[in-house]
């Protein structure tokens, strides 16, 4: 095996998806604890502390250094290099979250056992499902009074559309949480509360039918045993290929805050989650083990100093080996860059920072040379598919208070649009105000704030009658022309000049679809 192939084989790149408060931050901290990278744990928490209000978010974004550094966490565990990509934790969704999910090979889903599957998890799951991303499920907070485990299991199955295969099963819950049966190793692991304890000191009782367990846990044990019988009859056995195909999810029960059940999740990730896979480009399939470097920008984030418009482009390596100072070509512009000053993400070993392989993420500071979706290569012209832009669900018209600053408004919006902070639509009809489209309300507030602080523009947002946008294409140029002429009032162009049809209701869209059978309407646009 080549050294590149060896490095690829030991990489695992994943994200944690959950509804706010389910325990993502806690689980992240515990994972870092296991890999010995605890020094960042404080900053993970600090970041999250101010999540609940938009104003707090802006405050915390002032410390963008932290936010960039903890966007990707690299750690080593059992000879594997693990890249954990953070999905923005705010209640209000930004499209960033979705795009981060296109850069991972697996996901851990955290569920609050008291609440089951919650709305935000469902939306994230849809993105994972669309890409058949393998998912490991962690059911958290068993130390509280929670839903019945069997009910949780069927909830997971129905929302994921996957078979949920328990790898562990809880005995009791809340005050009576005794621990979990480790179903694959036929033993019980006793629950002990405690935050900093590493799972190495765990206490086990061997054998599911060991009388000591019955003695200790009485009816809770009987109930768990009955449930296990039931699930063993009803669920298929775990099949690695089915997991990789996104058809089965292993399920663990535990308590992140007590560091209970976390190690199993990490072990499963290392053992079963896939190494970085091949990536599809328009020109060809790119294999991660290829000698030449390729990578794609999946996220752009404003950096420390807003006045200088610094941005960090997050590049997921798709193949080859990245070395500091190497010459790279940006496929879109044919320009060459030579990143020396790469943002280093946390790692225990220095050499990991100087080299990167498929699955790793490198942060390249730049002044706008790199856009979302850009492909970097050693010279080849490549365009990757699959970086999604989602049709916005919220619209606001935007105007500048001082007309003399409309140029700055356009510049600002173009740059923020390129960064993916918001979608900007330019109406076809002359004189129409620019439209901002978002997936989450918070995106508008952030954009107004950033227009003011970074571009000196006082922007004024106004309600828009639109609630939906669909990009459209057609194989029939005459039909396309006719559609565009007769609907000119409803057509606007996005940052890459792709035309979109704007409507104020689903009914209106349905009518358009019926009247224009030759036009295809798309809720998602892939970059390129």
Applying CB under 6 A, the residues found at the interface with ligand G4P are 18, 20-26, 48, 89, 140-141, 143-144, 255-258
Between 89 and 250, name the residue whose CB sits nearer to ligand G4P: 89
Got the DSSP string for 281-292?
BSS-EEPTT-SS
Q: Are 418 and 367 in contact (CB under 8 A)?
A: no
Which of 427, 502, 428 lies closest to 465, judged by CA? 502
Rg, the chain, Cα only: 25
Spatial separation of the C-alpha atoms in residues 398 and 80, rounded to whole Å: 48
Q: Are 319 and 286 in contact (CB under 8 A)?
A: yes
Between 31 and 435, name the residue whose CB sits nearer to ligand G4P: 31
Q: Are 435 and 502 in contact (CB under 8 A)?
A: yes
DSSP β-bridge partners for residue 248:
163
CA atoms within 13 A on the CB side of 95: 27
Spatial separation of the C-alpha atoms in residues 12 and 35, rounded to whole Å: 14
Phi, psi of 376 (to 5 degrees): -110, 135
Spatial separation of the C-alpha atoms in residues 2 and 337, rounded to whole Å: 27
**Nearest distance from C-beta of residue 497 to ligand G4P, angstroms:** 38
**Nearest distance from C-beta of residue 19 to ligand G4P, angstroms:** 7
Between 91 and 504, name the residue whose CB sits nearer to ligand G4P: 91
Alpha-helix residue ranges (DSSP H) falling in 63-204: 64-69, 95-101, 119-130, 149-160
**Nearest distance from C-beta of residue 279 to ligand G4P, angstroms:** 29
Between 253 and 472, name the residue whose CB sits nearer to ligand G4P: 253
Between 144 and 482, name the residue whose CB sits nearer to ligand G4P: 144
Three-class secondary structure of residue 110 per DSSP: strand
Between 15 and 81, name the residue whose CB sits nearer to ligand G4P: 15
Between 23 and 392, name the residue whose CB sits nearer to ligand G4P: 23
Between 43 and 210, name the residue whose CB sits nearer to ligand G4P: 43
**Nearest distance from C-beta of residue 108 to ligand G4P, angstroms:** 12
**Nearest distance from C-beta of residue 170 to ligand G4P, angstroms:** 12
**Nearest distance from C-beta of residue 527 to ligand G4P, angstroms:** 29
Between 175 and 209, name the residue whose CB sits nearer to ligand G4P: 175
**Nearest distance from C-beta of residue 257 to ligand G4P, angstroms:** 3
**Nearest distance from C-beta of residue 240 to ligand G4P, angstroms:** 28
DSSP structural state of residue 378: S
Between 71 and 294, name the residue whose CB sits nearer to ligand G4P: 71
Between 24 and 316, name the residue whose CB sits nearer to ligand G4P: 24
Which of 442, 499, 505, 443 lies closest to 473, judged by CA? 499
DSSP structural state of residue 250: E
Give the CA distances from residue 508 to residues 12, 396, 512, in Å, rounded to whole numbers and listed in that order: 45, 19, 6
**Nearest distance from C-beta of residue 261 to ligand G4P, angstroms:** 9
Q: Is 8 exposed, middle or buried (0-12, 13-18, 19+ CB in 10 A)?
A: buried
Spatial separation of the C-alpha atoms in residues 58 and 165, rounded to whole Å: 41
Between 253 and 501, name the residue whose CB sits nearer to ligand G4P: 253
DSSP structural state of residue 178: -
Spatial separation of the C-alpha atoms in residues 474 and 516, rounded to whole Å: 10
Give the CA distances from residue 461 to residues 315, 448, 495, in Å, rounded to whole numbers and listed in that order: 33, 8, 19
Q: Which is it for strands 524-526 and 388-390: parallel, antiparallel or unpaired?
A: antiparallel
Between 29 and 454, name the residue whose CB sits nearer to ligand G4P: 29
**Nearest distance from C-beta of residue 168 to ligand G4P, angstroms:** 14
Spatial separation of the C-alpha atoms in residues 221 and 226, rounded to whole Å: 9
**Nearest distance from C-beta of residue 45 to ligand G4P, angstroms:** 7
Q: Are 69 and 41 in contact (CB under 8 A)?
A: no
**Nearest distance from C-beta of residue 42 to ligand G4P, angstroms:** 12
Give the CA distances from residue 222 to residues 29, 54, 172, 214, 216, in Å, rounded to whole numbers and listed in that order: 34, 48, 10, 7, 11
Between 42 and 432, name the residue whose CB sits nearer to ligand G4P: 42
Three-class secondary structure of residue 189 per DSSP: strand
**Nearest distance from C-beta of residue 112 to ligand G4P, angstroms:** 8
- The number of angstroms, rounded, from the C-alpha of 429 to the middle of its chain's C-alpha atoms is 36
**Nearest distance from C-beta of residue 337 to ligand G4P, angstroms:** 35
User: Which residue is it, tokens 């089965």?
Assistant: 248
């Amino acid at each position: 095996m080549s050294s590149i192939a060896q490095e690829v084989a030991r990489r695992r790149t994943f994200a944690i998806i959950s509804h706010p408060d389910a325990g993502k931050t806690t689980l992240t901290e515990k994972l870092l604890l296991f890999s010995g990278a605890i020094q960042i744990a404080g900053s993970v928490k600090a970041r999250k502390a101010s999540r609940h209000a938009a104003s707090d978010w802006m405050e915390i974004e002032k410390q963008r250094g932290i936010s960039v550094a903890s966007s990707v966490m690299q750690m080593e565990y059992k000879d594997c290099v693990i890249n954990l990509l953070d999905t923005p934790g705010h209640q209000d969704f930004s499209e960033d979250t979705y795009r981060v999910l296109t850069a991972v090979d697996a996901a851990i889903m955290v569920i609050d056992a008291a609440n089951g599957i919650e709305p935000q998890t469902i939306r994230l799951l849809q993105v994972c499902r669309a890409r058949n991303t393998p998912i490991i499920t962690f059911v958290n907070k068993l130390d509280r009074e929670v839903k019945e485990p069997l009910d949780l299991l069927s909830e997971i199955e129905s929302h994921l559309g996957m078979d949920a295969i328990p790898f562990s099963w809880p005995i009791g819950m809340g005050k009576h949480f005794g621990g979990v049966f480790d179903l694959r190793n036929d033993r019980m692991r006793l629950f002990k509360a405690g935050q900093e304890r590493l799972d190495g000191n765990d206490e086990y009782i061997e054998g599911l039918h060991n009388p000591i367990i019955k003695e200790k846990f009485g009816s809770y044990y009987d109930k768990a045993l009955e449930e296990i019988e039931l699930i063993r009859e009803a669920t298929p056995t775990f099949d690695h290929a089915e997991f990789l195909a996104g058809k089965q999810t292993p399920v663990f029960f535990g308590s992140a805050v007590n560091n209970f059940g976390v190690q199993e999740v990490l072990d499963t990730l290392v053992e079963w989650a896939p190494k970085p896979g091949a990536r599809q480009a328009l020109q060809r399939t790119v294999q991660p083990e290829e000698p030449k470097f390729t990578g794609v920008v999946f996220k752009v984030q404003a950096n420390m100093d807003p006045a200088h418009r610094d941005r960090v482009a997050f590049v997921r390596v798709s193949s080859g080996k990245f070395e500091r100072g190497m010459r790279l070509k940006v496929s879109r512009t044919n320009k060459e860059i030579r990143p020396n000053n790469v943002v280093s993400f946390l790692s225990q070993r220095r050499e990991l920072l100087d080299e990167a392989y498929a699955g790793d993420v490198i942060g390249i500071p730049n002044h706008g040379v790199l856009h979302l979706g850009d492909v970097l290569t050693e010279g080849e012209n490549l365009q990757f598919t699959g970086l999604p832009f989602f049709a916005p669900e919220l619209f606001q018209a935007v105007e500048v208070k001082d007309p003399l600053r409309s140029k700055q408004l356009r510049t600002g919006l173009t740059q923020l649009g390129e960064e993916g902070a918001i979608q900007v639509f330019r109406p076809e009809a002359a004189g129409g105000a620019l439209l901002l489209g978002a997936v989450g309300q918070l995106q508008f507030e952030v954009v107004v704030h950033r227009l003011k602080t970074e571009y000196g523009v006082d922007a004024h947002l106004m309600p828009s009658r639109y609630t939906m946008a669909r990009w459209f294409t057609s194989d029939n140029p005459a039909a396309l022309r006719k559609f565009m002429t007769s609907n000119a009032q409803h057509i606007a162009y996005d940052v890459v000049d792709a035309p979109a049809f704007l409507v104020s209701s689903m009914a209106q869209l349905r009518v358009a679809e019926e009247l224009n059978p030759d036009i295809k309407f798309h809720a998602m646009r892939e970059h390129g």
